[in-house]
Amino acid sequence: MPKSAAINMRVEPSQHSLLTKAAQVLNKDRSVFILDVACREAENVLLDQRFFQLDESAFSAFDSALEATLPDNAKLKALLAKPSPWE
């Protein structure tokens, strides 16, 4: 796949060294490592957004779904009753 846009940045020597070492640990090219990490973080930022807008009818449906009583779920109750593996 051809590259379509360049991203250039200046970094401190210590940052350059850190990124190079981390990329080497994963047997990756430094640029590939930086792009992988940056894209993963960008996805996390976008997925973590808590603000969204709804029109009046969509908000009403959303609010109703939040207020609705959940059906009984025996498997979920059993799972939540078990101690966590780290406890």
pLDDT tens digit string along 10-45?
A: 999 999 999 999 999 999 999 999 999 999 999 999
- 5 pLDDT above the threshold of 80: yes
Tokens, residue 65: 């779904």
Looking at residue 6, what is its pLDDT? 87
* Stronger pLDDT, 50 or 15, i.e. the higher one: 15
Q: Is a pLDDT exceeding 90 seen at residue 58?
A: yes
pTM over 0.75: no
pLDDT on residue 1? 60
**Ramachandran bin of 3, using left for φ above 0, alpha for ψ from -120 to 50, beta for the remaining angles:** beta
Burial of 30 (0-12, 13-18, 19+ CB in 10 A): middle
